[in-house]
Chain A
Amino acid sequence: MDGMSALFIFMLAAFTGYEVIARVPVILHTPLMSGSNFIHGVVLIGGMVVLGQTPSDDAVSLTIGFIAVLLGAANAAGGYVVTERMLAMFKSNKGAGGSGR
């Protein structure tokens, strides 16, 4: 990828990340941290790409790639379950966050 356009993507994504959570109430700090923890579980895709493109006779790279996929999958799956469990607590709340201004 051309370095300059990547720099633009970095810049726009950083502002997006900042804006998206700028007005989060305190009660959602922990669930939101957990949610963003789940989203960087997308590193699993990177691990799959790396492992999938490693020559089948390169044992060292295969091992490290395997670990990358293993850890990435744990990050994604664990992050999802934990976030979902935390947010399930908010289902009884029909009136959108009475306490968290």
Chain B
Amino acid sequence: MSTVIQFVYFLVAIAFIVGLKAMSSPATARRGVQWAGYAMLAAVLVTFYLPGMHNYGLMITAIVIGAAIAWYLGKTVKMTDMPQMVAIYNGMGGGAAAAIAAVEFLRQGAAHHASVGLLAALGAIIGAVAFSGSCVAFAKLQGLLKKTYQVPQQNNVVFFLALFTFGIGLTIGFSAQPGGLELMIFFLLALALGVLLTLPIGGADMPVVISLLNAFTGLAVGFEGYVLANPLLIVAGTVVGASGTLLTLLMAKAMNRSIRTVIFAPITGEAQETQGEVAGSLKEHSPDDAAATLRYAQKVIIVPGYGMAVAGAQHKVWEMAQLLEEAGVEVKFAIHPVAGRMPGHMNVLLAEAGVPYDKIFDLEEINAEFAQTDVALVIGANDVVNPAARTNKSSPIYGMPILNVDQAREVLVIKRGKGTGYSGIENELFYRDNCHMVYGSAQEVVARIIQRLKELEA
């Protein structure tokens, strides 16, 4: 029986890797996750038949409760809130890895090999950090936690806390019978480490952090797989750890941030005060003015941002784009790599609204076109179109690639109010001569523009 189970685990590991490969291409992505899903189901089912298993009642209760709640929340959450759902589920995986380590530590008379103790301790720390860090990331993305916090000497404190926690972990890992108090202190310190690491990081860098914590959880699962002598956990965990690390680097590159600056030199509130005065004034347009400007343009590029997603206006925006096309206006969508909250998030939202792929363009593909564009319509985006990233060396977002909307003949910005973007930085674009502001919720403003466009045709 055991051989059969191990062979099923072997097939599951293959399915995970092939599934992950399929998920990295749009045409096969959906199939990929479905293969991996069946594989996971098979792995869970055969695990019930492992020799020496009992406590089935508890096990099934835990699976049913955990899976049912997560399934329900995952099904019902709004598309715009997906990033924080990824964060919280990732945190749960990290927590599970840490809990496994805790049980292994407590196991009496277990003849611990040195490497088992070491990896159990490492996995426990990394898993606990992923858990508490993901909880903080969730709170930030959900808007429960709006500010960043930092302790004095942040980097040194984190470094020594990590070292100290690891030291306690090692003594626990190598002792035959660790005390309950010792274990409790160890896990509390590891959890505090995760909180300390993520609290100072600003919202704009959250995607990179979640991706990093995702890789962390993968590693923790791989380490606990070694402790449990389970090759499936080792392979799946390590594959996620490695691919997650690469994905983190790719994301950071898309945002022109290095991992080091994200973790150790976070954007803080103080950075805003060092900025120069912004020249010019804000000029307001009504939605009716905006409709006319758009209708009589030759070429319009729409730049959607998180504000559009929050307002749920993507369907309306697509309806407006279709009306403009019927009137002979060329319409394109320009997507910044981190539009929305994460790379690729905005593409998913536009796809949901039915916008075809050949109308959606990456930053590199479209940036040269703004100079020949009549109207750039910015909907609920802010930091990703801030020219300060190009010119102002003291700006915290300096160096981030931006969409060059300021080069268009006219810029229209639909925005809820006069506030700043997610990074809290003033946007000088809004004060330029060729820029007009249309205030209001994206949903309402676009609805009004659509109505006006229809009147213009009639």
- A interface list, Cβ under 8 A from B: 1, 3, 6, 9-10, 13-18, 20-54, 56, 58, 60-62, 64-93, 95-101
A17 CB to nearest B CB, Å: 3
Contact of B233 among A43, A69, A86 (CB under 8 A): A43
Number of inter-chain CB pairs below 8 Å? 395
- A26 pairs with B343, CB closer than 8 A: yes
- B33 pairs with A84, CB closer than 8 A: yes
How many interface residues does B have (CB within 8 Å)?
A: 121
State the CA gap A42–B21 with chains docked (Å). Answer: 17
- A30 pairs with B83, CB closer than 8 A: yes
- A71 pairs with B95, CB closer than 8 A: yes
B358, CB-defined interface residue at 8 Å: yes
Chain B facing A: main interface SS: helix
For B246, give the chain A residue with the smallest CB separation: A18
Chain B residue numbers with a CB within 8 Å of A52 are 47, 50, 52-56, 59
Contact of A99 among B12, B70, B239, B362 (CB under 8 A): B362
State the CA gap A99–B77 with chains docked (Å). Answer: 27
Chain A residue numbers with a CB within 8 Å of B69 are 74
Binary contact track B336-355/A, C-beta < 8 Å → 1, others 0:
01000011110110011010
- A16 pairs with B29, CB closer than 8 A: no
State the CA gap A78–B238 with chains docked (Å). Answer: 21
- A47 pairs with B96, CB closer than 8 A: yes
State the CA gap A60–B238 with chains docked (Å). Answer: 29
- B93 pairs with A75, CB closer than 8 A: yes
Known: A23-B24, A74-B69, A82-B89. A13 touches B222 (CB 8 A): yes
For B350, give the chain A residue with the smallest CB separation: A89
Binary contact track B73-111/A, C-beta < 8 Å → 1, others 0:
111010100110110111011011101101110110000
Chain B residue numbers with a CB within 8 Å of A24 are 24-25, 247, 250
Ordered by A's residue number, 27 sampled pairs between the chains whose C-beta atoms are within 8 Å are A29-B247, A34-B86, A36-B214, A42-B40, A42-B232, A43-B221, A45-B47, A45-B230, A46-B96, A48-B47, A49-B53, A51-B55, A52-B47, A53-B52, A60-B180, A61-B103, A68-B100, A71-B92, A72-B92, A78-B89, A80-B36, A82-B89, A83-B23, A85-B74, A99-B358, A99-B365, A101-B365
